[in-house]
Structure 1
Amino acid sequence: MTTALTNEAARNDVINRLRRAEGQIRGVQRMIEEGESCLKISQQFSAVRKALDSTYLRMTMCFMEQELQQCITPDQLQPEGMAAMLKDMESLLARIG
């Protein structure tokens, strides 16, 4: 997988999502330092995980869009490129969860 996140809007979306998750992680650290209850901390951990999962899914969709653009030309489908892309997609999707 060598494609980069080239779409400016998608790149900004991913960066913003990561910044929100970063803020949530700092919040969890602060909660631990301040002695918050484990229940409240675990709720924040859950929010962080969801934020990161959502960002990972967005990155996966960007990858898929980029790969499809490379594999499908206006007049023909490039089967070897599609097979490689599907293998990479399988690898990415296996990491969700």
Structure 2
Amino acid sequence: MAQLQDETARTDLLNRLKRAEGQLRGIQRMVETGESCMDIASQMAAVRKALDSAYVRMTVCFMQQEMQQRFGIEGEKATELDTMLDDVQTLLGKVR
């Protein structure tokens, strides 16, 4: 399986994961201090959404990278591909 080669995409993905990690630590503190189950559940839902979003972003970046490399897409066609994949990402974001 290929790796994300675009440094900007990798940085974006890492930032998303670090944000989710911080949310998870917050949930752990909530459990330790005895916060209400409803509040904890709400935060868990937020973390799940953040991880889903990171997964979609990673998948779209992978698709973009692989299509550009395998099919030699560059220039105007690369811009068209970027636009199309942005639309795919938006559509996948609505599934969650």
Asked if Structure 1 and Structure 2 have the same fold, meaning a TM-score greater than 0.5 normalized by the shorter chain, the answer is yes
> How many residues end up aligned between the 2 structures?
76
Partner SS, residue 39 of structure 1: helix
Q: When the two structures are superposed, what TM-score results if normalisation uses the length of structure 1?
A: 0.73
- Equivalents in 2 of 1:8, 1:72: separation in Å? 21
List, as ranges, runs of 4+ consecutive aligned residues in structure 1 with deviation greater than 4 Å. none
Which structure 2 segments of 5+ residues have no match? Answer: 74-91
Structure 1's unaligned 5+ residue stretches are 75-92
Alignment-mate amino acid for residue 10 of structure 1: A
8 Å contact kept, 1:21–1:51: yes
Structure 2 match to 1:60: 59
Q: CA RMSD in A?
A: 1.7
Query: What displacement does 1:73 show?
Result: 2.6
Q: Which has the higher helix share?
A: 2
Asked if the contact 1:3/1:66 (under 8 Å) is kept, the reply is no
Alignment of 1:16-95 (within 5 A): 16-73=15-72
Residue 71 of structure 1 deviates from its aligned partner by 2.3
CA distance in structure 2 between the aligned counterparts of 1:42 and 1:30, rounded to whole angstroms? 13
Q: Normalising by the residue count of structure 2, what TM-score does the alignment of the two structures yield?
A: 0.73
Q: Residue deviations 1:15-55, cap 9 Å, x none?
A: 00000000000000000000000000000000000000000
8 Å Cα contact 1:18-1:52 kept in structure 2 = yes
CA drift at 1:3:
1.2
Higher Rg: 1
